Amino acid sequence: MRKLWWRHAALIVISIIMLAPFYWLLKTAITSENIYEYPPHLLPVRPQLFNFVDVWYLIPFPRYLFNSIVVSLIAVAGNLVLNAMAGFALTLPFVGRRSVIVLLLSCTLIPFQATIIPAYLITAHLGLLDSYLGLALPLLSTIVCIFIFKASFDAVPRSLIDAARIDGLGEMRILLRVMLPLSTPAIATNIVLSFIWSWNNFLWPLIITRSQDMQTLPLGLARFLSYMEDTTGALYAFVVMVLAPGLLVFLMAQSAFMRGLTTGATKG
Amino acid sequence: MATLELRDLRKSFGPVEVVPGVNLDVAEHEFVVLVGPSGCGKSTILRMIAGLEEPTSGDIVIDGAVVTQREPKDRDIAMVFQDYALYPHMTVAENMAFALRYRHVKRADIRRRVSEVARMLEIEPLLQRTPRQLSGGQRQRVAMGRAIVRDPKLFLFDEPLSNLDAKLRVQMRTELRKLRDAVPTTTIYVTHDQVEAMTLADRIVILNHGRIEQIGTPEDVYDTPATAFVASFIGAPAMNLLPARLDHRQLRLEDGTVLPCPLDGARDVLCGIRPESLVWSTQPSGPCLHGTALTVEPLGADTLVTFLVGDTEIAARLPPRSIRRAGEALTLMLDPAVVHVFDQETGQRI
């Protein structure tokens, strides 16, 4: 019991350390307090929401928000469809399966920056520069998420797949009607990870967007910095507005997300 | 209803030949049980019949049509799995209706058939539950219901009772027997439990290392086992196999006991004696086995006793309270007519 108490105390301290920057961010966003002010105020002094209103009107925030949502939704949809199919394929026996798995895993070692030029050229050849699909293209399928689906599908008893085959289902229907309904944690994990990766993506949108109308929130943040001087409060308000949807998605799918990440880690 | 033929069916996994050629004819309405120890290839044969494993060679013929290359869904079979394989995200009713929906059966017909089968199996109150809300026995019934509702040509059962506790297994065995009479579909049933095989089968196929040791009715395989393996596999406790010397119409056991035998010739043999063929009497006469009780297991209706004959430990099923404790001397009479003789090298019945 005493051991458990110390563990909880340690976790509370670590949580406070982790959450402190978020608290500071929110506090500054609603107070415009100078971050170098000494001594700093622990509690917000004269809180107000003007900074959020400024951000909304001073830059085309709604447009950036809309672009980010569209691109993230395309990325999430792509990840769900393509990763589920790829993950299922990797659970089936076929010649060269091991090699494909090794190849995919080794690809995770290649940083995106190393493939950005070929990715740009391919996107340009497809005529997708400065388009929503082009913005989402590199994140339409992610190897980590393929393996999250694979681990989840591996945990489904083989007899269920056999039963489905005898019941008359083809491979696609087995995936849709049997595997996916039993893999909600993997689905949640795919949604959370692909949404957050797409939402936070800066480099790729910077390279392939040409018009301001197609820019996403991270680019908008950079643009905002170049517009404004003494932007502390507004800048922090912008950051809060950028972070909020990602946090919301994560909190909504939190428990399933955790189960998805640990699928296959323990027996049973 | 259909017939089933297996023609020289073989299966190898890499260099390991699991099923080295099986031939079997199953008649319409027949209930055939494949029985054998773990790893004898019985489930592999069943999976090949179902289309879940591709045979290395040979043919599977259902109702006169070669189905070896057909997909499982095109074979018109239904299978009950060892772990029941019920879809956990569907209700019992949805589980039972699932296959019918993909066979374009009308909704009204699906409802009627599910309801009929549920009534027959007494699972009507469970139709709206999910599998996790069911006990082992209830899941077992639902799995059978899902198979029956399809009205297939062939039922395949893969050790369906092995996940149940001993009491429930006996109960479900009785129900399976009733069901067998109510739904006389051609059935292949796989088990490693010889009691299940004996109680359910029209014919038993005994497998060892993928090879068929014997095919016959339960009475055949019990009364006239074709090999020493069958003799030791069928019956509980198993048949005692004693090394002996056949010497011109006489069997000489290791301890010097001599039994009359109708067989001629001279060779080393295994002498098979069922535990229930040994007779306890206060005034023994005729050929007898002598020994000292090693273990005594009173089972109520009878008592299991083990004792040594030469270096071989043998079991006897005796009347209750005939022997009370280990260490007691015993003399058991033996009718030479019920002694089975097997070649010691090949294990074949002589």
Residues B96 and B208 in one domain: yes
For A178, nearest residue in chain B (alpha carbons): B87
CB proximity A93 to B under 8 Å: no
For A168, nearest residue in chain B (alpha carbons): B73
Q: What proportion of chain B, given as a percentage, has pLDDT over 70?
A: 100
Mean pLDDT score of chain B: 90
Residue B123: band (very low, low, confident or very high) from pLDDT cuts 50, 70, 90: very high
**CATH code for the domain in which residue A188 is found:** 1.10.3720.10
Name the least confident of A179-183, A260-264, B342-346. A260-264
Instruction: Give the DSSP per-residue string, A81-143.
Output: IIIHHHHHHTTS--TTHHHHHHHHHHHTTS-GGGGHHHHHHHHHHTT-TTSHHHHHGGGSS-H
Would the CB atoms of B81 and A163 count as touching at under 8 Å?
yes
The backbone torsions φ and ψ at residue B200, rounded to the nearest 5 degrees and listed phi first, read -100, -30
Does residue B200 lie within any of the structural domains? yes
Does residue A92 lie within any of the structural domains? yes
**CATH code for the domain in which residue B56 is found:** 3.40.50.300
Cβ atoms within 10 A of the Cβ of B333, count? 16
CB proximity B105 to A under 8 Å: no
Nearest to A166 among B79, B87, B88 (CB): B79
Task: Copy the structure tokens of residue B265.
Answer: 């010739």
| Final residue belonging to a domain, choices B233, B263, B287 | B233
Task: Copy the structure tokens of residue B286.
Answer: 């005729």
Residues B147 and B53 in one domain: yes
Mutation site for B-interface testing, chosen from A166, A171, A174, A176 by largest number of B Cβ within 10 Å: A166
Nearest to B50 among A160, A166, A173 (CB): A166
The backbone torsions φ and ψ at residue A37, rounded to the nearest 5 degrees and listed phi first, read -65, 135
pLDDT of residue A260: 65
pLDDT of residue B111: 94
Does residue B139 lie within any of the structural domains? yes
Q: How far apart are CA B168 and CA B283, in angstroms?
A: 42
3-state secondary structure of A209: coil
Q: How far apart are CA B191 and CA B196, in angstroms?
A: 7
Does residue B349 lie within any of the structural domains? no
Q: Which residues of A touch B77 (CB under 8 A)?
A: 166
Measured in angstroms, the CA of B69 and the nearest CA of chain A are apart by 14
Residue A179: band (very low, low, confident or very high) from pLDDT cuts 50, 70, 90: very high
CB proximity B98 to A under 8 Å: yes
Q: Which residues of A touch B72 (CB under 8 A)?
A: 162, 165-166
Residues B249 and B221 in one domain: no
Residue B70: band (very low, low, confident or very high) from pLDDT cuts 50, 70, 90: very high
Do the Cβ atoms of A164 and A174 come closer than 8 Å?
Answer: yes
| Final residue belonging to a domain, choices B233, B248, B268 | B233
pLDDT of residue A231: 65
Q: Looking at residue B40, what DSSP letter applies?
A: S
pLDDT of residue A2: 62
Taking only residues 17 to 56 of chain B, the set having a beta carbon closer than 8 angstroms to any beta carbon of chain A reads: 47, 50-52
Cβ atoms within 10 A of the Cβ of A58, count? 14
Residues B153 and B275 in one domain: no
Does residue A10 lie within any of the structural domains? no
CB proximity A92 to B under 8 Å: no
Do the Cβ atoms of B9 and B20 come closer than 8 Å?
Answer: no
| Final residue belonging to a domain, choices B207, B233, B259 | B233
For the cut 70, the answer to whether the pLDDT of residue B1 exceeds it is no
Helices A50-58 and A232-252: crossing angle in degrees, nearest 10, is: 90
Residues B170 and B130 in one domain: yes
Does residue A2 lie within any of the structural domains? no
CB proximity A182 to B under 8 Å: yes
Rounded mean pLDDT, A146-174: 94
Would the CB atoms of B51 and A165 count as touching at under 8 Å?
yes
Residues B131 and B45 in one domain: yes
Does residue A44 lie within any of the structural domains? no
Mutation site for B-interface testing, chosen from A92, A158, A159, A167 by largest number of B Cβ within 10 Å: A167
> Which one, of B290, B323, B281, B289, lies nearest residue B305 by Cα?
B323
Residues B178 and B225 in one domain: yes
Instruction: Identify the residue with better confidence: B254 or B200.
Output: B200
For the cut 60, the answer to whether the pLDDT of residue B96 exceeds it is yes
**CATH code for the domain in which residue B300 is found:** 2.40.50.140
Would the CB atoms of B102 and A167 count as touching at under 8 Å?
yes
pLDDT of residue A229: 65
Q: Where is B140: in which H helix or E strand?
A: helix B136-148
CB proximity B14 to A under 8 Å: no
Residues B135 and B201 in one domain: yes
* Rounded to 5°, angle at Cα B55 from B52 and B59: 110
CB proximity A166 to B under 8 Å: yes
B329 has which bridge partners? B292
Q: b/e for B17-40, b at 16 or more Cβ within 10 A?
A: ebbebbebebeeebbbbbbbeeeb
Rounded mean pLDDT, A253-262: 71
The type of residue at A130 is D
Residues B42 and B157 in one domain: yes
pLDDT of residue A267: 35
Rounded mean pLDDT, A228-252: 82
Does residue B348 lie within any of the structural domains? no
Residues B207 and B323 in one domain: no
- Residue numbers of the domain that contains A111: 49-262
Q: How far apart are CA A190 and CA A75, in angstroms?
A: 10
Does residue B292 lie within any of the structural domains? yes
- Residue numbers of the domain that contains B146: 4-233
Burial (CB count <10 Å: 0-12, 13-18, 19+), residue B123: buried
Q: Which residues of B touch A173 (CB under 8 A)?
A: 102
* Number of compact structural domains in chain A: 1
Is the overall model pTM greater than 0.95, yes or no? Answer: no
Residues B36 and B144 in one domain: yes
Does residue A221 lie within any of the structural domains? yes
B250 has which bridge partners? B260
CB proximity B67 to A under 8 Å: no
Q: How far apart are CA A30 and CA A233, in angstroms?
A: 7
For the cut 70, the answer to whether the pLDDT of residue B260 exceeds it is yes
Does residue A140 lie within any of the structural domains? yes
What value does the CA radius of gyration of chain A take, rounded to a whole number of Å?
Answer: 23
Does residue A85 lie within any of the structural domains? yes
Would the CB atoms of B85 and A159 count as touching at under 8 Å?
yes
* Number of compact structural domains in chain B: 2
For B149, nearest residue in chain A (alpha carbons): A167
Q: What is the ipTM of this complex?
A: 0.85
For B102, nearest residue in chain A (alpha carbons): A168
Does residue A167 lie within any of the structural domains? yes
Residues B117 and B210 in one domain: yes
